[in-house]
Amino acid sequence: MEKNHSSSGKGGKLSVVGTGPGSLEYLTPRARQIIEKSDIVVGYKTYLDLIEVLLFGKEIVASAMMQEVDRVKKAIELAVEGKSVALISGGDPGIYAMAGLAFEVAKRLDCSIEIEIIAGIAALNSCAERLGAPLMHDFATISLSDLLTPWELIEKRLKAAAEADFVIVIYNPRSKKRSWQLDRACEIISQYRVGATPVGVVKGATRAHEEITVTRLDQLDTAVVDMQSTVIVGNSNTYIWNKKMITPRGYSKKYNLEQA
Amino acid sequence: MEKNHSSSGKGGKLSVVGTGPGSLEYLTPRARQIIEKSDIVVGYKTYLDLIEVLLFGKEIVASAMMQEVDRVKKAIELAVEGKSVALISGGDPGIYAMAGLAFEVAKRLDCSIEIEIIAGIAALNSCAERLGAPLMHDFATISLSDLLTPWELIEKRLKAAAEADFVIVIYNPRSKKRSWQLDRACEIISQYRVGATPVGVVKGATRAHEEITVTRLDQLDTAVVDMQSTVIVGNSNTYIWNKKMITPRGYSKKYNLEQA
ipTM for the complex shown: 0.94
What confidence tier does B252 reach under pLDDT thresholds 50, 70, 90? low
Q: Does A90 touch chain B (CB under 8 A)?
A: no
Q: How far is A219 from chain B (nearest CA, A)?
A: 24
Contacts of B150 in chain A (CB under 8 A): 251-252
Amino acid (one-letter) located at B157: R
Task: Quote the crossing angle between the two packed helices B98-108 and B68-80, to the nearest 10°.
Answer: 60
Inter-chain CB proximity A137 and B96 less than 8 Å: yes
Helix axes B151-163, B181-190, angle to 10 degrees: 30
Q: How far is residue B162's CA from residue B139's CA, in Å, rounded to a whole number?
A: 10
Contact B75, B42 (CB under 8 A): yes
Closest CA to B100 of B212, B24, B16, B8: B16
Helix (H, G, I), strand (E, B) or coil at A110: coil
DSSP run (H or E) holding A103: helix A98-108
Label residue A259 exposed, middle or buried (CB < 10 Å: 0-12, 13-18, 19+): exposed
How far is A208 from A195, CA to CA, in rounded Å?
32
pLDDT score, position B2: 39
State whether residue A20 is helix, strand or coil. Answer: strand
What local confidence, expressed as pLDDT, does residue A11 receive? 67
- Angle between helical axes of A68-80 and A98-108 (0-180°, round to 10): 60
> Which residues of chain A lie closer than 8 angstroms to B33, CB-CB?
25
Among the ranges given (A42-51, B112-121, B138-147), the one the predictor scored with the smallest mean pLDDT: A42-51
What part of B 56-75 touches A (C-beta under 8 Å)?
Answer: 69-70, 72-73
Q: pLDDT value at position B258? A: 52
Q: What mean pLDDT is predicted for residues B129-151?
A: 97
Query: Which residues of B fall within a CB distance of 8 Å from A241?
Result: 103, 107
Are residues A162 and A188 in contact, defined by beta-carbon separation less than 8 angstroms?
yes
Instruction: Please give the Cα distance from B235 to B161 (Å, whole number).
Output: 10
What residues of B are in contact with residue A154 (Cβ under 8 Å)? 138
How far A104 CA sits from the closest chain B CA (Å)?
Answer: 7
- Are B248 and A100 in contact by the 8 Å Cβ rule? The answer is yes
CA–centroid distance for B114 within its chain? 24
Q: How far is A233 from chain B (nearest CA, A)?
A: 14
- Between these two residues, A82 and B8, which has the higher pLDDT value? A82
Q: Rounded to an integer, what distance in angstroms lies between the CA atom of residue A91 and that of residue A120?
A: 6
CA A182 to chain centre: 17
Q: What is the mean pLDDT of chain B?
A: 92
Nearest to A94 among B101, B129, B258 (CB): B129
Which chain A residues contact residue B250 at CB under 8 A? 147-149
- On chain B, the residues whose CB falls within 8 A of the CB of A139 are 140-141
Per-residue pLDDT, averaged over B97-118, amounts to: 95
* pTM assigned to the model: 0.94
Residues of A in contact with B255 (CB under 8 A): 69, 148
Q: How many CB atoms lie within 10 A of CB A153?
A: 17
What's the confidence (pLDDT) of residue B7? 40
At position A136, the amino acid (one-letter code) is M
**Radius of gyration of chain B from its Cα atoms, rounded to whole angstroms:** 20
Mean pLDDT computed over B49-55: 92
Helix (H, G, I), strand (E, B) or coil at A209: coil
Q: How far is A97 from chain B (nearest CA, A)?
A: 6
> What number is the average pLDDT over the span B108-114?
91
- Range scoring the smallest mean pLDDT among A249-253, B113-117, B181-185: A249-253
> Could you report the per-residue pLDDT of A121-161, keeping only the tens digit for each?
999 999 999 999 999 999 999 999 998 999 999 999 999 99
Beta carbons of A140 and B137 less than 8 Å apart: no
Point out the residue among A107, A117, A257 whose CB comes nearest to the CB of B69: A257
CB-based contact, A257 to chain B, within 8 Å:
yes
CB contact under 8 A, A73 and B260: yes
Is residue A20 less than 8 Å (CB to CB) from chain B?
yes
Going across the sheet that includes B40-44, the strands are B59-63, B40-44, B84-89, B13-18, B114-118
> Which chain A residue lies closest to B126 (C-alpha atoms)?
A119
Question: Which stretch of DSSP H or E encloses residue A41?
Answer: strand A40-44
B95 contacts B16 by C-beta, under 8 angstroms: no
For chain A, percent helix, then strand, then coil, each to nearest 5?
A: 35, 25, 40
Q: Chain B contacts of A148, Cβ < 8 Å?
A: 249-252, 254-255
CB contact under 8 A, B254 and A147: yes
pLDDT value of position A125: 98
B172: closest chain A residue by CA: A138
Q: Does A36 touch chain B (CB under 8 A)?
A: no
pLDDT at residue B112 in the model: 80
R_g of chain A, CA atoms, integer Å = 20
What are the DSSP E strand ranges found in chain B? 13-18, 40-44, 59-63, 84-89, 114-118, 132-133, 139-143, 167-171, 198-203, 211-216, 229-233, 239-241, 244-246
Taking the C-alpha atoms of residue B109 and residue B100, their distance in angstroms, rounded to an integer, is 14
The answer on pLDDT for B1 being more than 60 is no
Residue B65 pLDDT: 62
- A residues 173..212 contacting B (CB < 8 A): none
Mean pLDDT over residues B233-240, rounded?
A: 98
| Amino acid code (one letter) for B226 | D
Distance, in Å, from the CA atom of A26 to the CA atom of A50, rounded to the nearest integer, reads: 12
Question: Which stretches of chain A drop beneath a pLDDT of 70?
Answer: 1-11, 65-66, 252-260
More confident residue, B258 or A5: B258
CB proximity list for B117: less than 8 A, separation 6 or greater: A128, A129, A132, A133, B15, B16, B18, B93, B94, B99, B102
